[in-house]
């Protein structure tokens, strides 16, 4: 395990929380390596010691920590310990990338405006789990993913960037999930970059501000070109 160096403070430090394979984490790592994402990943923390994403981080030379939730009596005590671990990095943003635990209100409050998640649906549709199966069962013709600030309501925080994919007649849960995940990998680094560059924030009232304007609906990230299109109340959005 790499020892965390706190002697110098990165320009925009982030911590990434994972529970599984870490494919969205890999997209963040790749964007940082390519120079298109101006952040420093100070640590990747998982609640599961067998999470494949930990190996992705280690291969990239990123500090990893495991805090196994099974060693705690309740959610609140675990989140208190997790908060202390995260705060050793002094992050400006905490990024959930396939972190499969419901967060306690105190934890969310501590990182209010500094905690984001990517969810595989066009929020507010299909909050919670099994989003692709539910989309197919409902008969919708459009599905996708959303990047949103995290609040106490599960998947209920304000989204600011979404990507839309078509639901095809012969789609299975697996094929639809794969199509959405491909776009998540393209979209999540952009959302993090917007925050790092100071373009996106959440105000005290829980509203998202983008380029100094209140955002009344999420920007749509185009699956075919990677460009942001016009969103209600906004003239133009530069990706």
Q: How far lies 79's CA from each of 48, 49, 94, 159, 184, in Å?
A: 14, 17, 14, 24, 26
Structure-token pair, residue 50 = 């067998």
DSSP symbol at 70: G
Active site residue 119: yes
- Closest by CA to 193, choosing from 31, 44, 26, is 31
d(CA 123, CA 162): 8
DSSP symbol at 67: -
Q: How buried is 44 (Cβ within 10 angstroms: 0-12 exposed, 13-18 middle, 19+ buried)?
A: buried
Q: Which of 69, 110, 119, 143 is catalytic?
A: 119
Distance from chain centroid for Cα 37: 14
**Residues tagged active-site:** 119
């Amino acid at each position: 395990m790499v020892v965390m160096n706190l002697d110098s403070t990165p320009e925009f430090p982030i911590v990434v929380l994972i529970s599984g394979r870490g494919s969205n984490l890999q997209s963040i790592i790749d964007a940082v390596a390519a120079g298109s994402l101006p952040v420093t990943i100070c640590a990747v923390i998982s609640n599961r010691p067998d999470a494949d994403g930990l190996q992705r981080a280690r291969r990239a030379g990123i500090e990893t920590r495991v805090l196994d939730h099974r060693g705690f009596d309740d959610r609140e005590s675990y989140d208190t310990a997790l908060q202390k671990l995260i705060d050793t990095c002094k992050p400006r943003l905490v990024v959930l990338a396939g972190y499969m635990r419901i967060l306690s209100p105190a934890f969310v409050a501590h990182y209010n405006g500094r905690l984001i998640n990517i969810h595989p649906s066009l929020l507010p549709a299909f909050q919670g789990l099994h989003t692709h199966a539910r989309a197919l069962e409902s008969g919708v013709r459009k599905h996708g993913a959303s990047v949103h600030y995290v609040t106490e309501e599960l998947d209920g925080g304000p989204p600011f960037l979404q990507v839309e994919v078509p639901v095809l007649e012969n789609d299975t849960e697996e094929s639809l999930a794969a199509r959405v995940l491909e776009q998540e990998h393209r979209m999540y680094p952009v959302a993090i970059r917007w925050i790092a560059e100071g373009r996106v924030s959440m105000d005290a009232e829980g509203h998202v501000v983008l380029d100094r304007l209140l955002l009344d609906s999420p920007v749509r990230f185009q699956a075919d070109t990677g460009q942001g299109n016009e969103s209600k109340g906004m003239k133009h959005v530069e990706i």
